Amino acid sequence: MKATLPTPHLRSFPSPTPLSFKLSFAFPETRRKSLSISSTPKGTPSPSLAYVPLRVSASSQAASAPTVNLTVIPTEMKAWVYGEYGGVDVLKLDEKVSVPEVKEDEVLIKVAAAALNPVDAKRRQGKFKATDSPLPTVPGYDVAGVVVKVGSQVKELKEGDEVYGNINEKALEGPRQFGSLAQYTAVEEKLLALKPKNLDFAQAAGLPLAIETAYEGLERTGFSSGKSILVLNGSGGVGSLVIQLAKQVFGASKVAATSSTGKLELLKSLGADLAIDYTKENFEDLPEKFDVVFDAIGQCDRAVKAVKEGGSVVALTGAVTPPGFRFVVTSKGEVLKKLNPYLESGKVKPVVDPRGPFPFTQVDEAFSYIETNRATGKVVIHPIP
- Report the DSSP pairing between strands 274-277 and 254-259: parallel
> DSSP string covering 28-85, please?
-GGG--EEEE--S-TTPPPP-SS----EE---SSPPPPPPEE-----SEEEEEEBSS-
pLDDT in tens, the chain (385 residues): 444 444 444 444 444 433 333 333 333 333 333 333 334 443 444 333 333 335 554 433 333 334 444 558 999 999 999 999 999 999 999 999 999 999 999 999 999 999 999 999 999 999 999 999 999 999 999 999 999 999 999 999 999 999 999 999 999 999 999 999 999 999 999 999 999 999 999 999 999 999 999 999 999 999 999 999 999 999 999 999 999 999 999 999 999 999 999 999 999 999 999 999 999 999 999 999 999 999 999 999 999 999 999 999 999 999 999 999 999 999 999 999 999 999 999 999 999 999 999 999 999 999 999 999 999 999 999 999 9
Q: Is the distance from CB of 158 to CB of 147 less than 8 angstroms?
A: yes
- List the domain boundaries for the chain: 76-195+352-381, 210-315
Quick check: helix, strand or coil at residue 352? strand
Residues 76-195+352-381, CATH architecture? Alpha-Beta Complex (3.90)
Instruction: Return the H-helix or E-strand segment holding 133.
Output: none
Tens digits of residue pLDDT in 122-170: 999 999 999 999 999 999 999 999 999 999 999 999 999 999 999 999 9
- CATH architecture designation of domain 210-315: 3-Layer(aba) Sandwich (3.40)
CB 113 within 8 A of CB 96: no
Report the alpha-carbon distance of residue 178 to residue 186 in Å, rounded: 8
